[in-house]
DNA sequence: TTAATTAGAGACATCAAGAGTCTTTAATAT
DNA sequence: ATATTAAAGACTCTTGATGTCTCTAATTAA
């Protein structure tokens, strides 16, 4: 069980955008080069992030992407959610006579989600910048 | 991102076996009927559990499976591990210039694993029995 | 010893989702 | 008008999950 590569790329992209100065637009080409991805593929990921309201896009020449102005304190969970959609660690619908482990798994999942919700992009970006300087 | 159906079936099977009286062998047919699965498919899952030392198998007439005598305090994580193998939520190898989020994700994963490690089959089995009586 | 029963092993088939490409369209700046 | 950039969607390829089927090995009961 692992998160998809797309989620991984999305998180990296979001951390990178967070380190940029406000209002500066970054094109998909630059973001793709950074991660050695094809621009068209990354573009699909970026569109999902935009639809979720985490970033804002501007088409046309000198266009690009930037972190959303309205959405504050974006967390890791927000990003994961935007890419993977609503997920549940366990699918209890496969059981016919009632799921014995539903409560246990739900508890574990809530716990993990709350931790990922507490991880904010800005904190990680600061950390990354400090590491880069040293 | 979710655990596989096989892991789900394995957990249910293990909880069921834990509720049985010691040393009693349960055949794959009974375990499969309980979950409405084909015996041959469940058989593959059971073999993995046996190889991981979580259950013991006896072939031949009147044979079947029972919870391991040697392995005590089996946890949810043990079962998940037996089926899914060694997993990691994030694959950092896809990044060329160093993974920015490795530490964050590792922390979240460790947290979740330690919670699943604290969930013991015996506790869940007791709970399930109490619910059945009421 | 033979027959019935049960687990184990492995080849095989099927399906869904992930991963990624390509092409066309729409919007924006110069 | 033209160049640039995001958006949308069809398409391909690969991988892994989910099973099924068949044969073999071990054990019990007669």
Cβ pair A76, B104 in contact under 8 A: yes
Rounded to whole angstroms, the Cα distance separating B56 from B49 reads: 9
Protein residue nearest nucleotide C10, by CA to C1'? B44
Q: Give the helix/strand (H/E) hosting B7.
A: helix B5-19
CB-count burial class (<10 Å; 0-12, 13-18, 19+) for B39: middle
Q: Which of A9, A14, A94 to mutate to test the interface with B (most CBs of B within 10 A)?
A: A94
Tens-place pLDDT, residues B36-95: 999 999 999 999 999 999 999 999 999 999 999 998 899 999 999 999 998 888 887 777
Q: Say what the pTM is.
A: 0.90
For B60: left if phi > 0, alpha if psi spans -120 to 50, otherwise beta; the answer is left
Both tokens of residue B81? 């591990």
- Å from A54 (CA) to D7 (C1')? 17
**In sequence order, which residues have a C-beta less than 8 Å from that of residue A131 and are 6 or more positions away?**
none
Q: Which of B87, B101, B103, B114 to mutate to test the interface with A (most CBs of A within 10 A)?
A: B101
Residue B100 has pLDDT above 90, yes or no: no
Would you place residue A133 in the very low, low, confident or very high pLDDT band (cuts 50, 70, 90)? low
Which of chain A's residues have a Cβ under 8 Å away from the Cβ of B87? 1-2
Chain B: residue whose CA lies nearest to A95: B35
Instruction: List residues in chain A touching B: CB distance below 8 A.
Output: 1-5, 8-9, 11-12, 15, 34-36, 76, 84, 87-91, 94-97, 99-101, 104, 107-108, 111-112, 115-116, 119, 124, 128
Taking the alpha carbons of B27, B14, B82, A103 in that order, is the dihedral positive or negative? positive
* Three-state SS sequence of A58-114: ECCCCCEEEECCCCCCCEHHHHHHHHHCCCCCCCHHHCCCCCCCHHHHHHHHHHHHH
- Å from B78 (CA) to D26 (C1')? 28
- pLDDT score of A56: 97
Is A5 in Cβ contact with B1 (below 8 Å)? no
The count of domains in chain A is 1
Cβ pair B32, B42 in contact under 8 A: yes
Is B95 in Cβ contact with A8 (below 8 Å)? yes
User: Which residue in B65, B61, B37, B63 sits closest to B50, CA to CA?
Assistant: B65
Protein residue nearest nucleotide D17, by CA to C1'? B4
Tens-place pLDDT, residues A57-73: 999 999 999 999 998 89
- Domain residues for the domain of A79 are 5-133
| Domain of residue B91, CATH code | 1.10.10.10
Residue B29 has pLDDT above 80, yes or no: yes
CA B33 to chain centre: 18
């Amino acid at each position: 069980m692992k998160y998809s590569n797309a989620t991984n790329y999305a998180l990296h992209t979001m951390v990178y955008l967070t380190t940029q100065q406000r209002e500066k637009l970054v094109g998909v080409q630059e973001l793709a080069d950074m991660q050695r991805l094809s621009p068209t593929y990354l573009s699909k990921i970026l569109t999902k992030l935009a639809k979720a309201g985490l970033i804002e896009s501007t088409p046309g020449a000198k266009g690009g992407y930037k972190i959303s102005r309205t959405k504050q304190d974006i967390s890791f969970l927000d990003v994961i959610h935007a890419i993977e959609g609503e997920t549940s660690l366990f699918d209890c619908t496969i059981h016919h006579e009632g799921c014995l482990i539903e409560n246990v798994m739900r508890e574990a999942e809530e716990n993990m989600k709350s931790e990922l919700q507490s991880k904010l992009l800005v904190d990680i970006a600061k950390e990354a910048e400090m590491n880069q300087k040293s």
